[in-house]
Amino acid sequence: MRRRRTTGRLSLLLVLLLLAWPALASGHGPDGHQSHHDAVPAAEEHAGHGHSQPMEPSPEEKAVNPAMWVEEKTGASVPLDLEFRNERGERVSLRQLIDRPILLLPVYYRCPTGCSFELANLADAIRRSRHRVDSFRAISLSFDAEETPTVAAQVRPNYVALLGKDFPRDAWVFLTGDSGAIARLTQAVGFAFQKKDDGTFVHPSALVALDRNGRIIKYVYGSFISGDVDLALAEAAKGTPASSIRRLLEFCFPANPRQTQQTLTVLKIGSGVLLVLGGIGLTLFLRRKPTDQPKFDP
C-alpha cells in the first residue's frame, strides 16, 4: 500500500515538473527572449562566411519563430526589374520572363544533396501536369552568387531530359545572378538560406507560384506532387492568391555523418543500459507476491 502511495506521489511530482516546462520552452514573456537572442548570433555567425546578411530572417522574425525558413508573402509582388542570366548567358529581366503563370524554385546547382531531388520532383510534376507546357514557365533560381550560366547549362539537360524532346526550350529557365538580385528576389518571396563553411547551403524546399504580373499566388511544399503543382498553376492562371496546402517543410542541408555516428553510439549505449536495468526491474516487480489477493463482494 505504502509503495502504491509513493508511486502515485512520484508520478504526480513528475507531472507537475513537466507542466512547468512549456512556459520555459516556448520562451513566453520577457524571459523567453533570452533563448531567441542566443539563437540569432549563432545563425549570424554561419551567415557571415561570405554570404549576404539580408537573406537571413530578421531578428524580429526569429524572436517569433527561430525556424522561420519560409515566410509566406502571398499577395505581394516580386520586383520585375531584377536581372539575371539564363543558362545561355543572356541577361534577362523578370519582366521578360514573367509573362505567364510561373513556378519559381530557388536551389543551387552544385548541391550535393537535396536540390537534385527538388529539380527532379519539379520535372516530374511538369511531366504529369494537365496544363499545356506553353501555358506556364518554370524558373530555377540559383541563390549561390558564385554559380555561373555555365554551371546552369551543365545541369539543365539532366532535368529537361525527363520531359521529352518536344518540351519547349524556354518553358524552363535556369537562372544565375549576383548576390544583390538574388537577395532581393528571395526576400520578396520570403525564402531564407544559409551558407556553410564548406560552401554548401542549408535551405528549405519550397516552390513559389506567381501569376503573370509577378504576384505571389501560392507556395508548394513537400515533394511537389502533381496535384499540388497543378492546383497552384490553375490558381496562378486565375491570379487569385490562395492559401498554401500544409506539408512537411523539407530541407536541403549538408549531412555530418561523424556527428550522427557519435549520437548513435551514445544512443546505443544509453538504450542498452536502460533496457538491462528496466528488464531487471520489471522482472522483479512483475513477479507475483502472496499479498496480491483480490477482494470479493459479500
Partner 1 sequence: MATTPSFFETPAPAGLTGIKAWLLTHDHKRLGLMYLWAVLFWFALALVIGLLLRLELMTMGRTIMSAGVYNSAFTLHGVIMIFLFVIPGIPAIFGNFFLPIQLGTDDVFFPRLNLLSWYLYILGGLLAIVSLFTAGGFPDTGWTFYVPFSIGTKHNVPMTVFAAFILGMSSMLTGLNFITTVHRKRSPNMGWMQIPLFTWSLYATAWVQVLATPVISITLLLVIAERLLNIGLFDPARGGDPILYQHLFWMYSHPAVYVMILPGMGVVSEIIPTFSRKAIFGYKAIVFSSMGIAIAGSLVWAHHMYTSGMSDTAIFVFSLLTFLVAIPTAVKVFSWVSTLYKASIEMSPPLLYALIFIYLFSVGGLTGLVLGAAGPDIHVHDTHFVVAHFHFTMFGGTGFAFFAALHFWWPKMFGIMYNFRRAYIAATLTTVGFMFHYVPMFVLGLMGMPRRSYDYLPQFAQGNALAAVGGILLFAGIALMLVNLLLSFRTRVAAPANPWGGCTLEWTIPSPPPLHNFLRKPDIQDYPYDFTEILRKS
157 phi, psi to nearest 5 deg: -60, -30
CB of 98 to partner 1, least distance (A): 23
Q: Dihedral sign for Cα 267, 268, 271, 277, please.
A: negative
Nearest one of 221, 222, 218 to 231, comparing CA atoms: 218
Query: Looking at beta carbons only, is 64 or 161 nearer to partner 1?
Result: 64
11 is a site residue for partner 1 (CB under 8 A)? yes
How many whole angstroms separate alpha carbon 45 and alpha carbon 43? 5
Helices within 170-256 (DSSP H only)? 179-189, 226-238
Nearest one of 213, 214, 248, 212 to 228, comparing CA atoms: 248
Site for partner 1 in 49-108 (CB under 8 A): 61, 64-72
Query: Looking at beta carbons only, is 171 or 231 nearer to partner 1?
Result: 231
297 is a site residue for partner 1 (CB under 8 A)? yes
Residue 199, Cβ neighbours under 10 Å: how many? 13
28 is a site residue for partner 1 (CB under 8 A)? yes
Site for partner 1 in 181-200 (CB under 8 A): 190, 194
Q: Name the one range near partner 1 by CB under 8 A: 78-86, 167-175, 179-187, 228-236.
A: 228-236
CB of 253 to partner 1, least distance (A): 4
Question: Do strands 102-107 and 137-142 pair parallel, antiparallel, or not at all (unpaired)?
Answer: parallel
Site for partner 1 in 106-145 (CB under 8 A): 113-114, 117, 128, 130
255 is a site residue for partner 1 (CB under 8 A)? yes
CB of 79 to partner 1, least distance (A): 21
162 is a site residue for partner 1 (CB under 8 A)? no
CB of 185 to partner 1, least distance (A): 18
Q: Is 35 exposed, middle or buried (0-12, 13-18, 19+ CB in 10 A)?
A: middle
What one-character DSSP code corresponds to residue 169?
Answer: G
CB of 236 to partner 1, least distance (A): 13
Query: Looking at beta carbons only, is 52 or 154 nearer to partner 1?
Result: 52
- Alpha carbons within 13 angstroms on the beta-carbon side of residue 296 total 1
231 is a site residue for partner 1 (CB under 8 A)? yes
